[in-house]
Amino acid sequence: MESILYIGHGTRSKKGAQEARDFLNRIIGKSAAPIQEISFLELAEPSIGEAYENCIRRGATSIRVVPIFLLSAGHIKEDIPDILEKLKNNFPDIPVEMADPFGVQQAIIQAVCELIFQEALVLSKDDSVLLVGRGSSDPSVLEAFEEIKKGVADKIGASVKVCFLAAASPSFGEGLEEACADSPGRVIVVPYLLFGGLLLSEIENAVRKRKKQGIQIVHTGALSRHSAIEEIVIARAAGKEEKDAAPVH
């Protein structure tokens, strides 16, 4: 039987982990695969290995891995494939394929723009957007954010800046400081994160602090608020984007 193994990043935040589980349970309810399991790379349970073995135990004859990751960095290029390779060696008769992360796509750029307008209602030329990424030392992630930045700016017609929570510059603190100092209007902060957790809490706290200082600032919340994210995962679970899938060797 066909099976789907969803892999989320994981978080120490119980609320954030439950948010991810709730999101994926909605996907499971809309997907036709007879066997579907949720797992996390780190910091939350069940682990990839536990969920993989659950698929086998339930009668899986093939496993399609759907990573719930926005962009391709070390976790996608190394960590997850390494874990899957070891598991595949334990069950050599079960074919495994892994879909790509979401990548830069117009559906997500459009979703970001719609989330911005949900918070800002109308943007003026004085308003600015601060796009906040998780951060990575992988150059491809930084290039992707430049694409996303340009795509959002072209659609909304306002200034868009990028910063990162870790492993890349400018840092979130630097980016927020600059955005607040430079923008004559409102600052709309866009956490480029799928779910809640400690990183989103960091952004929320910083925005709240600036509001108390009298700065006109709002944030859009996590990207999974928008239905486009759910639609992307459902499509990958159904194998409708085969060009994005790669065999696990």
Is residue 239 within a helix (H) or strand (E), and if so which, with residue range?
none
Is residue 217 within a helix (H) or strand (E), and if so which, with residue range?
strand 217-219
CA 21 from centroid of its chain's CA atoms: 14
CA–CA distance, 246 with 225 (Å, rounded to integer): 28
Under 8 Å between Cβ of 176 and 122: no
Under 8 Å between Cβ of 129 and 158: yes
| Domain locations along the chain | 2-102+226-238, 106-225
pLDDT for residue 247: 43
Residue 240 confidence class, pLDDT cut points 50, 70, 90: confident
The torsion region of residue 119 among left (phi > 0), alpha (psi -120 to 50) and beta comes to alpha
pLDDT digits (tens, 9 = 90+) for 150-162: 999 999 999 999 9
pLDDT for residue 73: 85
Under 8 Å between Cβ of 63 and 95: yes
The residues, ordered by sequence, that sit 6+ positions from 143 with a Cβ below 8 Å of its Cβ are none
CA–CA distance, 82 with 72 (Å, rounded to integer): 15
**May I ask the CATH class of domain 106-225?**
alpha beta
pLDDT for residue 242: 43
CA–CA distance, 112 with 175 (Å, rounded to integer): 18
Same fold flag, 2-102+226-238 and 106-225: yes
CA 34 from centroid of its chain's CA atoms: 25
CATH topology of domain 2-102+226-238: Rossmann fold (3.40.50)
Q: What is the DSSP letter of 171?
A: B
Looking at the DSSP bridge assignments, the partners of residue 38 are 6
pLDDT digits (tens, 9 = 90+) for 201-237: 999 999 999 999 999 999 999 999 999 999 999 999 9
The answer to pTM > 0.85 is: yes
